[in-house]
Amino acid sequence: MELWDYERQAWNSGAETVCGVDEAGAGPLMGPVYAAAVILPRELDIPGLNDSKKLTEKKREALYEVITTQAVSWSVARVEAWEIDEMDILNARMLAMQRAIEGLSVRPDTAFIDGNRDHGSRYAIETPHQLIVGGDGKSASIAAASILAKVSRDRYVSGKLDAKYPQYQFAKHKGYGTKLHYELLDQYGPCPEHRRSFLKKWEAKRHG
């Protein structure tokens, strides 16, 4: 299967504009979850385009510039840590993706959503859409969205949040539950950017 096959199927079915949507940051212990929505020009050749998780940081950064320069429309949105705690990560993911779609300057006829979930208990993808499991490796539009979401979140965590809370070394682990991160949590305790809903593992580890 080629990266444009899903888009071609949608175009052949009458959709004029198709956007890919993906999120980044569902698993970390801290910070916001990000989502991106991207509408690419039809059949645009972007050498190296792939699932962001399969790319090096340097390659993601380079592709970010290509995608944001050449996309018909793109949008990045986020749901903050405190919002995640108020709902849950599934609802936060849905909200972030819908916010990203709504941020596009061009209204898509349909959206390709990475994964197998399109709703939580409070929020859902409201735009006409298709779920594609593993879509970031199957759809050019979703692959592009995965790169924008990942790079945007990494820049924020490694830049602003790392500078604000240098003791946690967020730039090194991006907020994921690594050994280093847990050691720093043991030493300093959580900061305001840590998701309380994700600290149960850490607390269980400390008292277990």
Residue 66 in tokens: 């290509």
Q: Measuring CA to CA, which residue among 190, 169, 150, 154 is closest to residue 30?
A: 190
From 102, 136, 130, 104, select the one nearest 117 (Cα to Cα): 130
CA distance between the termini of the chain: 47
Known binding residues are 22-23, 114
- Provide Rg for the chain, Cα atoms: 18
Q: Which residues pair with 20 in a beta bridge?
A: 38, 112
What phi and psi values does residue 205 have, to the nearest 5 degrees? -65, -40
CB 34 within 8 A of CB 149: yes
Say how far apart CA 104 and CA 107 lie, in whole Å.
7
Residue ranges of the binding site for a divalent metal cation: 22-23, 114
176-183 — which CB contacts under 8 Å span 24+ positions?
176/27, 176/28, 176/29, 177/27, 177/28, 177/29, 177/201, 177/202, 181/29
